[in-house]
Amino acid sequence: MGPLAVLKGEHALFRRVLDSMDLCASRIERGGNQRDLPRFVLLLRAFVDGWHGPKEEKALFDVMVRHGFSATTGPLPLMAAEHMEAHRMLEMLATLIAEGRMEEPSKVRMVLQALRSVEYLLRYHMDMEEAVVYPAAEAELPPEAIRMIEERLKAGERGGRVDITGGAIRRLAHELQILYPIPTLPALAASA
Ligand SMILES: [Fe+2]
Ligand SMILES: [Fe+2]
């Protein structure tokens, strides 16, 4: 599997996490238990700050810049700015939850609204990378650059602002997906 396919696979994992998070948020809106909310926020922070985001910046974006892509205009600085925006939003969200008072309906509404803002940003961001950045890398980078990305992805499994491995992220994602299962399309068709 090439390095861009690896990154797309991480996006696919994360889209499923966002689907489960959406289900969790809907249950909380209907008065459901809030206990898993901090674990979803931890997972989002791990993805943005500790695993996928830093790997993209250090492996993919940096190699693209070394091969002629602009670091100051166009998609790469936009994607890096969105990583920072998601980081700030998630810091704020974690602080809001840690403050407590989650029994107050107005506080719960604020937290869920903030959660959905991050979700929207991350979904748009991943779509943009897959529509613009990854295809540009695949079309324009020479084979030695693709190999360099591959090596850096392997070396960069940890070391971001949140120190967590891809394995730990996958385990937590799996646990939460069991608690908040999203029906597959065939299952939906069968129940119709
Ligand atoms: Fe990204
Ligand atoms: Fe990404």
**Residue 190 included in any domain:** no
Sequence-distant (6+) residues with CB within 8 A of 84 are none
* Residues across the chain: 192
**Residue 189 included in any domain:** no
**Residue 186 included in any domain:** no
Tell me which residue range forms the domain holding 40.
3-180
Measured distance CA(60)–CA(4) in Å, rounded: 9
183 CA distance to ligand 1 centroid (A)? 27
Q: How far is CA 8 from CA 92, 126, 145, in A?
A: 27, 9, 18
Q: What is the pLDDT along the chain (192 residues), one digit of tens a residue?
A: 899 999 999 999 999 999 999 999 999 999 999 999 999 999 999 999 988 999 999 999 999 999 999 999 999 999 999 999 999 999 999 999 999 998 999 999 999 999 999 999 999 999 999 999 999 999 999 999 999 999 998 886 655 565 677 888 899 999 999 999 987 766 666 665
Structurally, the chain folds into a number of domains equal to: 1
**Residue 155 included in any domain:** yes
136 φ/ψ angles, rounded to the nearest 5 degrees? -65, -40
99 CA distance to ligand 1 centroid (A)? 29
117 CA distance to ligand 2 centroid (A)? 17
**Residue 89 included in any domain:** yes
Q: How far is CA 10 from CA 4, 48, 61, in A?
A: 10, 11, 16
CATH classification of the domain holding 27: 1.20.120.520
86 CA distance to ligand 1 centroid (A)? 10
